[in-house]
Amino acid sequence: MITLSENAYGKDRVRLTKVVRDGATHSILEFTVHIRLQGEFEKVYTEDDNRYCVPTDTMRNTVYVLARKNTFDSPEEFARIIADHFVDNFEHIRTCEVRIEQNIWQRIVVAGKPQEHSFTKERSIRTAFVRREESKAEVRGGIRGLEVLKSTGSYFRDFLRDENTTLPEVDERIMATTVEAEWVYGAGATDSNGSPFNSACERARQIILEVFATHHSPSVQSTMYRTGERLLDAIPHMDSIAMVMPNQHHILFDLSPFGLKNDNEIFVGTDAPAGVISATISRD
């Protein structure tokens, strides 16, 4: 017997830019929204019955309508607004997942003064995820594409060796990575009257940078764990954090054929192959 064991569908890459005007001072919210629905859609697949199919075009339009009707200042809050809309308004929808990537626009500073309506875009991306079910919701925040490098303060030695190991031990090396981090907010975290979302993201970004810069690192794994410890100690709304940090190698270039010394000055940056390190750090 053949059955439909699982199904989901939705809309990807809905691009939204909202200008929030406070007199002459403007703020920019630029989101890319992804929506997934699960529910009683079996007949759409198996019986050619579209009566319960919410068109993905409707999902796209809903993003813009809800953005106009609601006030929000974080991707987590807007993701929750979208997820609540679909679960609360359609009885046959059991679960809605919304993922948002936010491009961050910082004010341009001219002569020491932040401009009211001119911006420059950061390279890193803020992320949010909401999974709303009938009686509960999971909310996550995150950062992706945060590129960091330090020219010293990292070493790698005393690692396991076998017959295939050629890597030399080093007491000083360039450490570089692109941080991807996603944290889970505890129950009760909301984005109203002292909301944790924006402040938590700003604090998390600063802690990631501080630990990377100051931790004398024996491995990417060690720096990752120390970062997670600091984050959970500093941000009570976080229950856990998952991190991915590829080891982006910089190889000392051999200048000896040219009669030159290379005292840790000239390197070849490589992006492949790359070590990939991941971990989830949680509260007990």
Q: What is the DSSP string of 108-146?
A: EEETTEEEEEEEEEEEEEEEEEEEEESS-EEEEEEEEEE
Nearest CA-CA partner of 18 in 2, 6, 1, 32: 32
Contact in structure between 209 and 148 (CB atoms under 8 Å): yes
Known catalytic residue: 56? Answer: yes
pLDDT for 274 equals 87
Rounded CA Rg of the chain: 23
- Judge if 118 and 185 occupy the same domain: no
At 196, is the pLDDT very low, low, confident or very high (cuts 50, 70, 90)? confident
Instruction: Quote the CA–CA distance of 87 and 38 in Å, as a whole number.
Output: 10
**98 and 153 within one domain:** no
Among the candidates 112, 135, 158, a domain finishes at 135
26-37 tens-digit pLDDT: 999 999 999 999
- Residue 272: its pLDDT value, please? 85
- Please state, in angstroms and rounded to a whole number, the distance separating the CA atoms of residues 80 and 67: 12
Query: How far is Cα 26 from Cα 279, in angstroms, rounded to an integer?
Result: 38
Q: Does some domain include residue 1?
A: no
Q: What is the mean pLDDT of residues 191-199?
A: 69
| CA–CA distance, 209 with 228 (Å, rounded to integer) | 12
In a shared domain, residues 263 and 150: yes
The pair of three-digit structure tokens given for residue 170, joined into one six-digit string: 């080093």
Question: Could you say which of 84, 108, 135 is where a domain stops?
Answer: 135
d(CA 175, CA 262): 18
Domains: count for the chain: 2
Asked if residue 180 and residue 80 are part of one domain, the reply reads no
Active site (annotated) includes residue 92: no
pLDDT, one tens digit per residue, over 127-154 is: 999 999 998 999 999 999 999 999 999 9
Average pLDDT in the 233-248 region?
95
Q: What is the pTM of this model?
A: 0.93
Mean of pLDDT values over 96-115: 97
DSSP string of 16-74, one letter each residue: EEEEEEETTEEEEEEEEEEEEEEES-HHHHHS---TT---HHHHHHHHHHHHHH---SS
Q: Is 227 a catalytic residue?
A: no
How large is the average pLDDT for residues 252-279?
94
φ/ψ (deg, to 5) at 203: -65, -40
Instruction: Kindly state whether residues 159 and 217 are assigned to the same domain.
Output: yes
Q: What integer is the mean pLDDT of 252-280? A: 95
| Bond preceding residue 246 cis, omega within 30 of 0 | no
**Reported confidence tier of residue 47, pLDDT bands at 50, 70, 90:** very high
Instruction: Give the CATH number of the domain where residue 252 resides.
Output: 3.10.270.10
The residue range of the domain holding 107 is: 9-135
Residue 84 lies in a domain: yes
- Given a contact cutoff of 8 angstroms between Cβ atoms, the answer to whether 106 and 92 are in contact is no
Average pLDDT of the residues of the chain = 95
Q: Note whether 17 and 117 are same-domain residues.
A: yes
Whether the pLDDT of residue 159 is over 50: the answer is: yes
pLDDT band per the 50, 70, 90 thresholds, residue 169: very high
Mean pLDDT (whole number) for 55-79: 97
Which position among 32, 56, 95, 190 bears the catalytic label? Answer: 56
Q: Which three-class secondary structure state does DSSP give residue 181?
A: strand
Q: What pLDDT was estimated at residue 190?
A: 57
Banded model confidence at residue 191, pLDDT cuts 50, 70, 90 = very low
Percent of the chain scored above 70 by pLDDT? Answer: 98
How many other CB atoms are there within 10 angstroms of residue 6's CB atom? 6
Mean pLDDT for the stretch of residues 183-196: 71
